[in-house]
Chain A
């Protein structure tokens, strides 16, 4: 029995030594920990690009992101269920007030992190350099223009032959800021519907559940047309030249950056930074939206606040913006806006 006891003790010692021996190398980085974000799905691709770059720079970090929508993200921030929230619009004073319980007396603030361009993609291979106005597009989505050879289209596209083919508008039924942006553009013309996160009932065409499904639908439907993110369009579809009040403009990096360059930087409640592109009536390609991230002014401890600062500074820094531009196909909100955003993020503090 003594023999057995000795072996048992030896085994136990071995396990203890093994476990003690794996206490990890002393290379734990200074910036380390896990962040959790809940918010708009529009930042999904950008967050992946930022996460990859940030984790590469800070190997002891990780990020969880749930694309549940901007309002859910804000609720999560208010209730302490998210460290930051990717959102569709800058925080209002009321929203900042709601965040004070989780974020300390100064509440939360928001900064612009990316500009997402929206194009009008179409599946009509015989037509190049298609030009469309908000009014014509509005009539298409209202069902007043149903054929590609409608005079309203041919009149603004002189010299282009259009087939007698049915126009099939494709749209996503999900609630999205992309729909908000698209319908705001239509509302600038003769469209009767109300701009909003979802298409109004009277809108014609075929539907898919999410923007991610539009590409395939567009590919498979001759004569179709749809609002789609620039990154999803890529070189897969041709896009229409749109009218923003100063002639027809093609969507590309140059025209988008022109609109951003003529954009307006501002400040919001709680030290938030705001940004607007030139948009309708301005220079460049104006069909775009600015997307934001909301952070707490104060976090529970120094480790956490350091972690959030590290994330935020990466996102609005040159590395993060390079990543999102290259891998997610979005544009930067402009140098001035990013610098102000960085300054504000650096003020993130820990609770005493």
Chain B
């Protein structure tokens, strides 16, 4: 039996199998109460697991090693202290000036290792816990929506020094974990959830975990887009029985509000998620959901949240003007690149960005090893090609549109921005669309039979084991980059002999915990795909031979 989707097999052929699955797979049991309780359990377990993985990344990554983390941390501390709006006379060419504790204003001093992959993070000075006098902090994120920052900045009100910043990171990581867990839980409530869940698991690249664990609203917008998209899918699929997918409706509402209040561009991701989700279903399903009171109530509340997000964007368009133009480094506008050329250049780089979907950590200087790229490239190509095994174009269309969006939307945005801020696009900005495209691929072949039997289990074990290995290898490689740096020669042994930096719990401890958490994740996914079976097969008892009595 093959792990690949079987061609030409129709839904009706699966009826007996589905009848068996209904009682086992979360989200598909026969009665509503079972479905609700199963979904709650799934959500809590997934939240715990994803929170553990993201928090471990938070601890494994040196402070300020995430892209633009200093300016987002400063903004978060300022918003938590009530400095929400950009006031007149406080906006300058390099950013908005705020009043934050000195140890936060000075976070730029932590970035001595950025852009230099051979330099360990030990060069960063200690962060004192007693430098709490308020001083000028500069943030280029001064005009961003304050919602994310208000939540993340909260720990800085009652903690200080490095623990405060780690706590801010952990709050951000937990926020992302909640949305990812909501997304997976929603997918599990599809009628044919296995392939979409497999696709979603493929989309959880090391880069997704890495970004989820730092202080940057980019983390929330990726997670919230995933949750919103998955929620949309479930809501549309259950348009005639929305009462049984109430959590998915709430997920859509909360994710939409989060997206509308994260970054101005996040609303574009929301729109893309809506379009692709609608293309996965029929027009009558879309119409049907608007006859439901819960949906209408959610739409009403969500509209208020989206309106507030839009209001903020409009407000910030009329924010007090900056006293000067952004200097080089913040703006890279050249004025020489016409929009059409920026658009074509982005198209040209479409495949180049894939590496940044998989894992280019730090300030874009810390690529994962080629082995990890090879593994995820293989998975992504398989996902891409599987779609074309489906014979009905109606099923393919949503994926093709999602793929087109992944290529065209960032290109169009960069073309618009090139004259004002220069060439700024990075792969991480497109990650919301990447997640939509990969999950949409899983939706395309969701009706295909998910193989069962020992060969399928063996292949799944192999792939899951390889995924765990790839994740741990990537995690360890990133730790190596910060513990001893990555020069042009092998220096793994120096991680033990002369580590130049140590994260909390030591790199060895974090790696063991990360590997253990991933094995638990693999175990859970395997048990979900093959109900009643285990990722770690039990040893067969040795054959007992009866020894004749003498």
Q: What is the bound-complex CA distance between A11 and B129, given in angstroms? A: 25
With A66-B94, A66-B327: A32-B131 Cβ-Cβ less than 8 Å? yes
CB contacts (< 8 Å) of B105 on chain A: these are 33-34
Chain A residues contacting B137 (CB-CB under 8 Å) are: 34
* B83-114 residues at the A interface, CB under 8 angstroms: 89-90, 92-95, 97, 102, 105-109, 112
**Residues 105-146 of B at the A interface (beta carbon under 8 Å):** 105-109, 112, 123, 125-129, 131, 133, 135-138
Is B505 interfacial (CB 8 A cutoff)?
yes
| A81-B135 contact in complex given A11-B52, A303-B102, C-beta closer than 8 Å | no
Q: How would residues 146 to 172 of chain B score, 1 for a CB under 8 Å from any chain A CB and 0 otherwise?
A: 000000000000000111001100100
Central interface residue in A11, A19, A79, A303, by most chain B CB within 10 Å: A19
B125 near A34 with CB under 8 A, answer no
Residues on A with beta carbons closer than 8 Å to the beta carbon of B327: 44, 65-67
Contact A34 B109 (CB under 8 A): yes
8 Å CB interface, A7-30 against B? 11, 14-15, 17-29
* A303-B112 in contact given A23-B162, A29-B125 (Cβ < 8 Å): no
Q: Which residue of A lies closest to B137 (CB)?
A: A34
Which residue from A15, A59, A66, A81 sits with its C-beta under 8 Å from B324?
Answer: A66
- List residues of chain A with CB within 8 A of the CB of B108: 34, 62, 64
Q: Please indicate the chain B residues that have their CB under 8 angstroms from the CB of A27 in the complex.
A: 125-126
Given that A34-B136, A69-B324 are contacting pairs, would A76 and B92 also be in contact in the complex, using a CB cutoff of 8 Å?
yes
B504 interface hit (Cβ, 8 Å): yes
Check A300/B133 contact, CB under 8 A, given A24-B127, A61-B109, A66-B324. yes
CB distance from A47 to the nearest CB of B (A): 11
Q: Which of B376-418 contact A (CB under 8 A)?
A: none
For B305-345 the 0/1 string (1 means CB < 8 A from A) is: 00000000000000000011001000000000000000000
Give the chain A neighbours of B323 by CB distance below 8 A.
38, 66, 68-69, 72, 75-76
Whether B38 sits at the interface, judged by CB under 8 Å, is: no
Residues of chain A at interface, number, CB under 8 A: 45
Our pick among A62, A75, A303 for the contact of B131 (Cβ within 8 Å) is A303
* B259 contacts A by Cβ under 8 Å: no
Distance of A22 Cα from B501 Cα, bound (Å): 12
Is the beta-carbon distance between A68 and B106 smaller than 8 angstroms? no
Q: Interface readout for A37-67 with B: 1 if CB under 8 Å, 0 if not?
A: 0100000100000000001000111101111
Q: Which of A66-97 contact B (CB under 8 A)?
A: 66-69, 72, 75-76, 79-83
Beyond A26-B126, A68-B92, is A19–B166 a contact (Cβ under 8 Å)?
yes
How far is B125's CA from A27's CA once the two chains are assembled, in angstroms?
7
Find out whether the CB atom of B129 lies under 8 angstroms from the CB atom of A24. Answer: yes
| Distance from A217 Cβ to chain B, minimum over Cβ atoms (Å) | 13
Contacts of B505 in A (CB 8 A): 14, 17-18, 21
Contact B109 A81 (CB under 8 A): no
Smallest CB separation, B106 vs chain A (Å): 4
A173 in the interface (beta carbon within 8 A)? no
> In this complex, which of A14, A44, A75 has the most chain B Cβ atoms within 10 angstroms of its Cβ?
A14
Q: In angstroms, how far is the closest chain B Cβ from the Cβ of A77?
A: 11
Q: A34-B135, A303-B131 are in contact. Are A19 and B504 (CB under 8 A)?
A: yes
Q: Which residues of B contact A28 (CB under 8 A)?
A: 125-128
- Residue of B94, B107, B129, B170 touching A23 (CB-CB under 8 A): B129
**Contact across chains for B102 and A21 when beta carbons are under 8 A apart:** no
Interface string of B240-284 (1 = CB under 8 A from A): 000000000000000000000000000000000000000000000
On chain A, the residues within 8 Å of B106 by CB distance are: 32-34, 60-62
> Once the chains bind, are B127 and A81 in contact (CB under 8 Å)?
no
Docked complex Cα distance between A55 and B90 (Å): 25
**How far is A235 from B126 in the complex, measured between Cα atoms in Å?**
43
Q: Does A301 contact B (CB under 8 A)?
A: yes
Closest to A79 in B: B89
A175 to chain B, nearest CB (A): 11
Interface assignment of B470: CB less than 8 Å from any CB of chain A: no
The answer to whether A38 and B170 touch (CB under 8 A), given A33-B102, A68-B323, is no
What are the residues of chain A within 8 A of B166 when measuring CB–CB? 18-19, 22
Chain A residue contacts of B177, Cβ below 8 A: none
* A214 on interface, CB distance cutoff 8 Å: no
Which residue from chain B places its CB closest to the CB of A35 in the assembled complex? B136
Chain A nearest CB from B505 CB (Å) reads 5
Main DSSP-derived SS at the B contact region:
mixed
The yes or no answer to B222 lying at the interface (CB within 8 A) is no
State whether A15 touches B55 (Cβ < 8 A). yes
Shortest CB-to-CB span from B261 to chain A, Å, is 27
Say whether A34 contacts B102, CB under 8 Å.
yes
Least CB distance from A294 to B in Å reads 16
Query: Taking the nearest CB of chain B, how far is it from the CB of A10, in angstroms?
Result: 12
Which chain A residue shows the least CB distance to B160?
A23
Shortest CB-to-CB span from B73 to chain A, Å, is 12
Residue B59 interfacial (CB < 8 Å): yes
Nearest CB in chain A: distance from B332 CB, A: 13
Provide the residues of chain B in CB contact with A19, threshold 8 Å: 163, 166-167, 170, 504
A302 to B164, alpha carbons, bound, how many Å?
24
Q: Given known contacts A19-B166, A66-B324, A81-B97, is B136 in contact with A36 (CB within 8 Å)?
A: yes
A241 interface contact, C-beta 8 A? no
A38 touches B92 (CB 8 A): yes
Question: Chain A CB within 10 Å — which of B52, B93, B136, B163 has the most?
Answer: B136
Query: Does any Cβ of B come within 8 Å of A170's Cβ?
Result: no
Q: Which of B20-50 contact A (CB under 8 A)?
A: 48
Cβ-defined contact, A21 with B125, below 8 A: no
CA distance A60 to B130 in the complex (A): 14
List chain A residues, Cβ under 8 A from B167: 19
Q: In the bound complex, do residue B170 and residue A15 qualify as a contact, i.e. CB atoms below 8 Å apart?
A: yes
CB atoms of B163 and A64 under 8 A apart: no
Q: Is the CB of A68 within 8 A of B89?
A: no
A304 interface hit (Cβ, 8 Å): yes
- Say yes or no: A67-B162 contact (C-beta < 8 A), given A21-B504, A27-B125: no
Q: Which residue of A lies closest to B169 (CB)?
A: A19
Cα distance A80–B134 when bound, in Å? Answer: 12
CB nearest neighbor in A for B126 = A24
CB distance from A212 to the nearest CB of B (A): 9
Closest CB-CB distance, A136 to chain B, in whole Å?
34
What residues of A have a CB within 8 angstroms of the CB of B90 in the complex? Answer: 81
Kindly supply a per-residue 1/0 record for chain A positions 229-249, scoring 1 wherever the CB is within 8 Å of any chain B CB and 0 otherwise: 000000000000000000000
1/0 contact trace for B479-523 toward A, CB 8 Å? 000000000000000000000000111000000000000000000
User: A83 CA to B127 CA in the complex, in Å?
Assistant: 21
Distance, CA A300 to CA B133, complexed state (A): 9
Given contacts A19-B167, A33-B102, whether A59 and B97 have CB atoms under 8 Å apart is no
Residues of B within 8 A of A11 (CB): 48, 52
Contact of B93 among A17, A34, A60, A67 (CB under 8 A): A67
Interface 1/0s, chain A 186-204, versus B by CB < 8 A?
A: 0000000000000000000
The 3 lowest CB-CB distance pairs between A and B, nearest first, are A68-B324, A24-B126, A34-B106
7 contacts between A and B (CB under 8 A): A18-B166, A19-B170, A22-B59, A22-B162, A60-B106, A62-B107, A66-B94
- Other A-B pairs, 10, CB within 8 Å; known A22-B166, A36-B138, A301-B133: A21-B504, A21-B505, A22-B163, A23-B162, A28-B128, A34-B106, A34-B135, A34-B136, A66-B93, A76-B92
